[in-house]
Amino acid sequence: MPLPNDEKLIALSEEVLKQLQAMFGPHPGFRPVHAKGILLTGTFTPSSAAASLTRAQHAVQASTPVTVRFSDSTGVPLIPDNDPHADPRGMAIRFNLAEHVHTDIVAHSANGFPATTGQEFLEFLRGVAQSDPAKVQAFVGSHPKALAFVQAITPLPASFAKEKYFGLTAMKFTNKDGVSRYGRYTIVPEAGEEHLDAATAAAKGPDYLFNELNERLAKGPIKFKITVQVAEDGDVVNDATVHWPAERKVVELGTIALTSTVANHAHEQKRIIFDPIPRLDGIEPSDDPLLELRAAVYLISGRRRRAAPEQ
């Protein structure tokens, strides 16, 4: 995908990347956030209800190969899995539709985001990067969106496979009859959710989530259901910080079954650049101002990651 032809957007993206590097240090070849991760492969099978929501290719064909990346937060490649800063966890899904044709979902384990716009997000990063913990606490306490985000972060998970993930930005889903509705993804673990108390988490090893995932894969597929909460008229669809009422309709899009890790793993992790904008018929982005910024940040940092020497 090409970079957008918007000088202000590119400049803001560079400022975000500069701030992230100031927070986590330079780590060539790794992502500026969610640096520590693992790539898995599997299959997506749509539900019987999927086509009623969208005519997107993966919702109407029998199955689609997927690549999924689970990750810890921060830009530190060796962050311990039980470090409190390793939350929220990430889950990114690539639907491989044809050679060089794909669409992605980018989600994380906190049902919230600290900012509505890119400038607000940059302000948040600068606010929480202050060296004085009291100033950080004061910043979060005086910014309701940041406070809501921090409060939405769940305790450390027992497994990547026992965590729920949220695609926070709304998308516009259109079915074969031309009926369009906005919705948000939630990715639900078939194994159920499980989180650890502080003492149990502290006793875990630095790679416990990654080791547990490999052990779980050896026993059989890891499964998640992808669901979409559907907005109603009047719901805010361009602000990732605004939640919709819990009683809104939820449509099951389908099931992911993950069966193995990706071959040539380190190289493929470095190469893949996820895109928060769907870019396919049947699913369009909303007017959420964060989408274009995130896409630009991912692309700029991804190109730099690919250009870095192999580790």
Q: What global pTM score does this model have?
A: 0.96
Report if residue 156 sits inside a domain.
yes
What pLDDT was estimated at residue 2?
A: 66
Domain residues for the domain of 138 are 7-307
DSSP string, 229-247: EEP-TT---S-TTPPPPTT
178: left (phi over 0), alpha (psi -120 to 50) or beta: left
Give me the numbers of helices (H) and strands (E) for the chain, helices first please.
10, 10
Degrees, nearest 5: CA angle 47-228-239: 160
CA distances 36 to 77, 190, 308, Å, are 5, 24, 16
Q: What is the pLDDT of residues 249-290, one digit of tens each?
A: 999 999 999 999 998 888 899 999 999 999 999 999 999 999
Report if residue 2 sits inside a domain.
no
Q: What is the pLDDT of residues 134-155, one digit of tens each?
A: 998 998 889 989 988 888 888 8
Given the residues 34, 102, 108, 143, the one annotated as active site: 34
Q: Of the candidates 82, 85, 77, 79, which has an alpha carbon nearest to the alpha carbon of residue 35? A: 77
Active site residue 27: no
What pLDDT was estimated at residue 154?
A: 85
- Host H or E run for residue 291: helix 290-307
Report if residue 137 sits inside a domain.
yes
What pLDDT was estimated at residue 150?
A: 86
125: DSSP letter: H
What pLDDT was estimated at residue 152?
A: 87
Report if residue 1 sits inside a domain.
no
Q: Give the CATH number for residue 289.
A: 2.40.180.10
Report if residue 32 sits inside a domain.
yes
Tokens of 108: 């994380």
Is residue 75 over pLDDT 80? yes
Is residue 272 within 8 Å of residue 305, measured between CB atoms?
A: no
- Host H or E run for residue 45: strand 37-46
Is residue 251 within 8 Å of residue 51, measured between CB atoms?
A: no
What pLDDT was estimated at residue 173?
A: 98
Mean pLDDT of 199-215: 94
Q: Of the candidates 59, 110, 43, which has an alpha carbon nearest to the alpha carbon of residue 282? A: 59
Number of domains in the chain: 1
